[in-house]
Amino acid sequence: MLSKITVTPAPHISSKLSTQTIMLDVIIALTPAIGAAVIFFHDRALVLIGSCVLACLWTERICNWIRKQPSTIGDLSAVVTGIILALSLPPAMPWWAAVMGGAFAIAIVKVLFGGLGGNIFNPAMAARAFLTACFGVLMTTWTAPATIDAAMPQMGPMQTEAITQATPLAWAKMAVKKETSTETLKAQLSKTFWGNEGGCLGETSALALLVGGAYLLWRKTITWHIPLTVLAAAAAFSAVFYFIDPSRYANPLFHILSGGMLLGALFIATDPVTAPLTSKGMLVFGAGVGALIMLIRIIGEYPEGVMYAVLVMNALAPLIDRAFKMVPAGGIPNVK
């Protein structure tokens, strides 16, 4: 009987959480957004999500073989990376480019930096940056959802299948210049919320993203710190510009609901591996992401800034952690 007795360090019980259940929660939370992408982009969405996820899983498995490790795909983190990468790609992206992105995300950004937990940059965002660098044109060719009725003004002539269309953000930049009526702006805003919007796969429906984010918060998979500060900082930043000149700048609500803002705030900036550990650090990190997104959107060249904002703050996360050390409950001891 004694031979069966095991000895391990205390504690001898543990919570039900595991890395796998956390990743599974994120996947569950992403399903509304995946659903929205499939509804609006049909098979394009399925092809892209499928190729990204498979590319990520296979790359991770192959890296395991090369490094003679046991398989790590069971932790599901590669699936999450794949889905998020796919959701941040434009629908017209060819599948092989998506596969390249997935392979880059895992092999270069994650495994080379030490695998799960070791990477500095969010793999999906770094891969997206890589794709932007390689295929600049593909990455900025936006397709309107197949169901769109081409009601948006100032868009080029209708094409047969995919309508090449500016994203609402680029459109907003353009539209305000052409002094579009407020009604059109309002219509645009409601579309952004419900979906049916030009842009990347996962950016089309704010509602789907909010539902997923609410689920993550309810499950305590993420805390409020990062999403709230990202959105608050972005809103504050855009509000300043909006009040200075409402005719030139879009209103804050529009900025928050459109583009990759919600996907970024709820699913990308909250990636625990690449965000700070401490809650104070998270607040600073989130505020930095939000402010950078707006800086890039309003002042920078690109209409969309989530990717660069996240990558820049990822690089700063270790510094932020060092700056906001945990203070012990009993205060900092006088003598060390």
Partner 1 sequence: MAGTGSFLGGVHPPEGKQYSEHQAIEVVPTPKQVMVLLSQHLGKPCEPKVAKKDKVTAGQMIGSVEAFVSAPVHSPVNGTVKDITLAPHPVIGRTMAIAIDTDPADNTPKRPAAERFGRDFRPEQYTAQQICEAIAQGGLVGMGGAGFPTRVKVEPNPAMPKDTLVINGCECEPFITCDYRVMLEWTWQVMAGIRLAARASGCSKVLIGIEVNKPDAIRVFEQAAAELKDAFKMQVVPLRTKYPQGGERQLITSILGKQVATGGIPPAIGICVLNVATCAAIAEAVVLNQPLTHRVVTVTGRAIARPGNYYVPVGMSVADLIEHCGGLTETAAKVIFGGPMMGPAIADLSQPITKTSGAVTLLTAEDVTRAKFEKRQTACIRCGRCLAACPEHLNPTRIAHAIKYGRLDVAENYYMAACIECGCCSYVCPANIELTGYIKTGKLQKARAAKKLG
Subset of 63-92 contacting partner 1 (CB under 8 A): 72, 74-75, 77
Nearer to partner 1, 8 or 182 (CB): 8
Quickly count: other Cβ atoms within 10 Å of residue 214's Cβ.
13
Place of tokens 């979906």: 195
Look at residues 322, 227, 329 and name the one whose alpha carbon lies nearest to residue 278: 322
Residues 90, 94: Cα–Cα separation, whole Å: 9
Q: Which stretch binds partner 1 (CB under 8 A): 125-133, 149-157, 254-262, 320-328?
A: 320-328
Least gap, CB of 328 to partner 1 (angstroms): 5
For 15-44, what is the HEC assignment? CCCCHHHHHHHHHHHHHHHHHHHHHHHCHH
Nearer to partner 1, 15 or 247 (CB): 15
C-alpha triplet 202, 32, 223: angle, nearest 5°: 85
Residue 13 makes contact with partner 1 by CB under 8 A: yes
**From candidates 175, 235, 275, 313, binder to partner 1 by CB under 8 A:** 275
Nearer to partner 1, 143 or 221 (CB): 221
Nearer to partner 1, 123 or 305 (CB): 123
Least gap, CB of 81 to partner 1 (angstroms): 13
Amino acid at 130: F
Nearer to partner 1, 197 or 321 (CB): 321
Subset of 88-127 contacting partner 1 (CB under 8 A): 114-118
Residue 315 makes contact with partner 1 by CB under 8 A: no
Least gap, CB of 265 to partner 1 (angstroms): 17
Least gap, CB of 285 to partner 1 (angstroms): 12
Least gap, CB of 276 to partner 1 (angstroms): 8
Answer for the pair 226, 313: CB distance below 8 angstroms, yes or no: no
Nearer to partner 1, 178 or 336 (CB): 336
Residues 138, 11: Cα–Cα separation, whole Å: 52
Least gap, CB of 2 to partner 1 (angstroms): 7
Subset of 214-273 contacting partner 1 (CB under 8 A): 223, 272-273
- Please count the residues of this chain forming the interface with partner 1, following the rule CB under 8 A: 48
Binding mask 282-301 for partner 1 (x = CB under 8 A): x-------------------
Q: Which stretch binds partner 1 (CB under 8 A): 17-25, 122-130, 148-156, 227-235?
A: 17-25
Q: Which stretch binds partner 1 (CB under 8 A): 1-9, 138-146, 170-178, 204-212?
A: 1-9
Residue 332 makes contact with partner 1 by CB under 8 A: yes
Tokens for 81, please give them.
């990376």
Site residues (CB under 8 A) for partner 1?
1-2, 4-15, 17-22, 72, 74-75, 77, 114-118, 223, 272-273, 275, 277-279, 282, 325-333, 335-336
